[in-house]
Amino acid sequence: MIKTQVGIIGSGPSGLLLSQLLHLRGIETVVVERRSRDYVLGRVRAGVLEQGTVALVNRAAAGQRMNREGLVHEGVTISFDGRSHRIDFRERASGSVMIYGQTELTRDLMDARAALGGELIYEAEAVSIDGLDGDRPTIAYRRHDGEHAIRCDFVAGCDGFHGVSRHSIPDSVLDLHEKVYPFGWLGVLSNTKPVSDELIYVNHARGFALCSMRSTTRSRYYVQCPLDEDVTAWSDDRFWDELTQRLPKDAADRLETGPSVEKSIAPLRSFVAEPVRYGRLFLAGDAAHIVPPTGAKGLNLAASDVHYLSTALIEFYERGSMALLDSYSADCLRRVWKAERFSWWMTSVLHRFPEQVSFDRRIQLAELDYLSGSNAAQAAFAENYVGLAL
C-alpha cells in the first residue's frame, strides 16, 4: 500500500502539471497512468496555449523550452465568402497565444517531474476508487505484477473521458450535458513550412478548413469531413487538393505540400459533467468536459481546472481551509461553460451542417461579416481566444 497526500490518475498535461505545482509547495503526490510513457508521448494533440496556460506552466518551473521554442501569435485570420479578415489580439484584448505542441508540453512536464524525483507509475490501470465519502480514499490499480493500492487524502481524476474517475461518481449525482456534431475533422501533419505565420480559419461552401502549425517547419491542416469517412480513402494528393480548394487564393498559392507524417479523423463533441467534485474526488480535464477543437480550448480548460484545484489543495495543506475545495466545482464550471459557449459558437459559424438551409448559411455569413466589421465583436472574440481571466 502506497501512502501519499494526493493521488492523481492520469499522466497527461493536467495530471503532470498538478503534480508539479503541488510538489513545489511541499505536497506529496503519486501519479498512476494506464499507458506507457512512450504511448503518452505518441499522442497527437492540440498546440494552442492561452496566455494563462503559459503563465501556469512557467509557475510550475517547466516552461524553459516552451518559452524558447514556442511561437507567439498575436492574431488569427478568418476567411469567408471570398474574403479574409485578421483579428488582432494585441489591439483588441492586449493578449496573445502561444503555439506549442501538447506532446512537447507533456515531455517538458515529465522531465520536470523526473528532475524533482516525482513518483509516476506507468502501465498501471486504475480499476476503482473507494472511500470517497471518508477522509482517506483508496485508488486500486493493476499492473503486470498484480494488484496494488494508493491511500491518499484526495484523488484528482485526470484520466480522460473513458477513465475510472468520472465513472466512480454515482449516476444519481451526475448531470451529463452533451452535443455531438454531425461531422469530423480530417487532420494531416506534415514536415512543410506553414502556409501562414498565424492560424487561418476558413468557412467555405465545401466545408470548414484550418491552417495551423507545430513549428516553423511542421504544419497541421484540417478539413471538415463526414463522420463516417474512411481515412484510408484519403491519399495525400486528395487531401492537398481538397484543402487547396477551400483556402483563399493567396494562401492556396503559397501552400507547400508534402508527405503526411500523421493522418487521422477526429469527431467533434461538446460535453460537460456536473458536478466535477464528489467527496474527496476532483475531476479535471477531459474527465469533466470536452469541447470541439474549433476554439482551441481543450488543453487550456484542463489547465484552468489545475489552477483552481492546485490553489485549493495548497490552501488546505497550508491553512487547513476547505473553502476553495468546496467551491472547486462551481469555480471550474463557471469558466467551463463560457469556453463551451465560445467553442460551440465557432463551430456553428464556421462549418457546413448536413441539414443547413439557405437561411442558415446567410446567418453564418452575417455573423462573420459582423465580426469582421465590429471592433466590439472582435474584442469579445479576442478576449475569449486568448483566454478569460482565471
**pLDDT per residue over 238-276, tens digit each?**
999 999 999 999 999 999 999 999 999 999 999 999 999
* Of 13, 278, 293, 307, catalytic: 293
| 142 and 239 assigned to the same domain | no
Answer yes or no: do 339 and 197 share one domain. no
The percent of residues above 90 in pLDDT, for the chain, comes to 97
Domain co-membership, 154 together with 283: yes
Q: Band the pLDDT of 44: cuts 50, 70, 90.
A: low
**CA–CA gap between residue 147 and residue 124 (Å, rounded):** 9
CATH number of the CATH domain containing 67 = 3.50.50.60
Strands of the sheet with 97-99, listed across from one edge? 48-50, 97-99, 71-73
Residue-wise pLDDT for 185-241, tens only, equals 999 999 999 999 999 999 999 999 999 999 999 999 999 999 999 999 999 999 999
CB atoms within 10 A of CB 173: 11
CATH number at residue 381: 3.30.9.10
Would you state the pLDDT for residue 47? 87
Would 80 be classed as within a structural domain? Answer: no
Catalytic, out of 23, 73, 289, 351: 73
Output the pLDDT for position 43.
Answer: 75
Q: Point out the catalytic residue in the list 100, 141, 181, 201.
A: 201
Counted domains in the chain: 2
Say how far apart CA 375 and CA 212 lie, in whole Å: 25
Per the annotation, the verdict on 259 as an active-site residue is no
Of 204, 297, 307, 351, the catalytic one is: 297
Q: Which of 100, 181, 221, 385 is catalytic?
A: 385
Residue 250 within any structural domain of the chain: yes
Cell numbers that stand for 58 in this block: 512557467
Please report whether residue 51 resides in a domain: yes
Three-state secondary structure readout of 219-287? EEEEEEECCCCCHHHCCHHHHHHHHHHHCCHHHHHHCCCCCEEEEEEEEEEEEEEECCEECCEEECHHH
Task: For cell 474517475, name the residue.
Answer: 165
Q: Is residue 90 part of a domain?
A: no
Q: Judge whether 39 counts as a catalytic residue.
A: no
Range of the domain at 186: 181-268+355-386
Predicted local distance difference test score (pLDDT) of residue 389: 87
Average confidence score pLDDT of the chain = 97
* 123 located within any domain: yes
- Would you call 293 a catalytic residue per the annotation? yes
- Chain mean position to CA 169: 23
